[in-house]
Structure 1
């Protein structure tokens, strides 16, 4: 079968299209004919090598997999999911593994997966849309809906709003009925944010997001809940972490699921107690989050934002765009 592999960590040039054996599903596994695979921001990082993560080599990237059940391993079957069923694959393998990170991923024609990871696809959901969902949209769903409980009428600021998690955070906050401000440093992406319904776009290459947010919603005050954002979505971390606390209203909350710009910023904790700010962490997704997302897409209430849709052999180009932060939403590959 055709697969994109890398045999050594390093630059994007290490990626190559290769012929590799079709995996044989073991007991407890299903063989999936891959139709689409979604990429994420961590994929180029895994290629370059992330300290502390044990990536088996040769590695096949791609954590978000959709396709059809081609076969089951010995003594294995999932009731209601016969061979031929269209499926999404939950990327979490057990409690420690993730496809494309610590387990070989889906940038190939066939992949063997734990049978319990199969999620049937509604007829109304395409393979491409399904492959845009699990890692980024699943993470955002848990953060916005389950952990953050964003409500209608709330004021929500989303930092890092143009990647997969950020775009979905914007979409889900709008779907909940919130008033959304979103930050980006790109004029082109600012227009894309407006196109998906953002109420206020903050171009950080032209203005300071703290000043812009306070101009929109007022300056937070210690004994008055009138100023500031109800919710700040901040998974960028770094220098923006302490600054973003200045945007949160008294009694407001900060939602975080990552730290793309640094995990150990200096923080003035006086803001947290003085303004009674809740810091809400969110990690990964649950199976129910994925089925909820599929229902939203099937009903037409949510449309995954696909930045590029390419054939498998053009995966290196998508990696380059991810590295250059040129992706708005998700990069998806059509395998067959």
Structure 2
């Protein structure tokens, strides 16, 4: 079968596409014939050795897929050969086959396409875990989403609205912000032109934001934190802007707020049953049309370097996916 391989750490142009042997599932695993896979920012980090975990070389990046169960390992009872599924894999997804832990492989209703499912697993899994399990976002509260036009950002906007929150989308251009409004954002901040703290305070009548969803980090974190409400929750999701920020600890003291880490990869490995419950709701919302993954562009596996370069250009709205 064909797979994108990282054989040494480096930029996307170093990735190669090769024919490799078909996969064999272990205990509690299934092999999935991949029909579509989603590209996420962590994929650009893992190939450079900069992510929280590193697979053994050589490996395929790609942490979320949708496809058809090809073979089933020992001890798997809720899945069978031929099932349509969606799965979070951590890595391995940019290939024609991938092994998935059965605890993080979920049946896919006929009404949801492989492309839609492959754009959902990591982004909606992360954002739902962040907003529901970690922040306990309530109806009527205000949610500020940084990097709002990206994959996890667009998911956070829709989940925030589904939970009854008022959503402020923050992004770097008016084009991105108009896009965020089209998928449900109530208010917007262009943080390339406006002061993030000042505008967030103004849009909440000086009260501050109840929950901040931050996959961006860098210079945006401190001004956003300064705009948090009393007993607010600041969700640390990632550092797409580059630098990991250093936070003055007097700010959470003065605000009475919580700084909460969000790592979906660790969550689904440590709490698979809670993750499965989350996806029951996510899939239900997908079927009902309450949420929908936003697909920016589709590529084939041979275009992996081009796709990753486009993702890191900060011009992507929604998700890039690979179809196989």
Contact 2:46–2:54 (CA<8 Å) still a contact in 1? no
- Alignment: residue pair count: 314
**Aligned twin of 1:57:** 57
**Aligned twin of 2:263:** 283
Q: Cα distance 1:117–1:181, how it changes in 2: closer, same or farther (>3 A)? A: closer
**Worse-superposed segment, 155-164 or 33-42:** 155-164
Cα distance, 1:27 vs structure 2: 4.4
Q: Cα distance 1:161–1:12, how it changes in 2: closer, same or farther (>3 A)? A: same
**Aligned twin of 1:79:** 77
Superposed CA deviations along residues 109-150 of structure 1, whole A, max 9, x for unmatched, are 122333444311122221111111222221110111222122
Name the CA distance, whole Å, in 2 between partners of 1:114 and 1:276. 39
**Aligned twin of 1:15:** 15
TM value normalised by structure 1: 0.86
Name the CA distance, whole Å, in 2 between partners of 1:182 and 1:38. 23
Q: Cα distance 1:245–1:72, how it changes in 2: closer, same or farther (>3 A)? A: closer
TM value normalised by structure 2: 0.89
**1:148 aligns to 2:135 (yes or no):** yes
**Aligned twin of 2:281:** 292
**Aligned twin of 1:163:** 150
**Aligned twin of 1:229:** 209
Cα distance, 1:28 vs structure 2: 3.9
**Aligned twin of 2:223:** 243
Q: Cα distance 1:52–1:179, how it changes in 2: closer, same or farther (>3 A)? A: closer
Name the CA distance, whole Å, in 1 between partners of 2:152 and 2:223. 21
**1:265 aligns to 2:246 (yes or no):** yes
In the TM superposition, 1:22-37 aligns within 5 A as 22-37=22-37
Name the CA distance, whole Å, in 2 between partners of 1:123 and 1:278. 41
Name the CA distance, whole Å, in 1 between partners of 2:88 and 2:53. 20
**1:306 aligns to 2:279 (yes or no):** no
Name the CA distance, whole Å, in 1 between partners of 2:9 and 2:200. 41
Name the CA distance, whole Å, in 2 between partners of 1:211 and 1:264. 20
Q: Cα distance 1:201–1:52, how it changes in 2: closer, same or farther (>3 A)? A: closer
Q: Cα distance 1:107–1:51, how it changes in 2: closer, same or farther (>3 A)? A: closer
Larger Cα Rg: Structure 1 or Structure 2? 1
Question: Going by fraction, where is helix more abundant, 1 or 2?
Answer: 2
**1:132 aligns to 2:130 (yes or no):** no
Contact 1:151–1:178 (CA<8 Å) still a contact in 2? yes
Cα distance, 1:171 vs structure 2: 1.1
Q: Cα distance 1:303–1:51, how it changes in 2: closer, same or farther (>3 A)? A: closer
Give unmatched runs, 5+ long, in structure 2.
268-274
Name the CA distance, whole Å, in 2 between partners of 1:253 and 1:115. 33
Q: Cα distance 1:88–1:51, how it changes in 2: closer, same or farther (>3 A)? A: closer
Contact 1:241–1:267 (CA<8 Å) still a contact in 2? no
Aligned mate of 1:325, from 279, 292, 314: 314
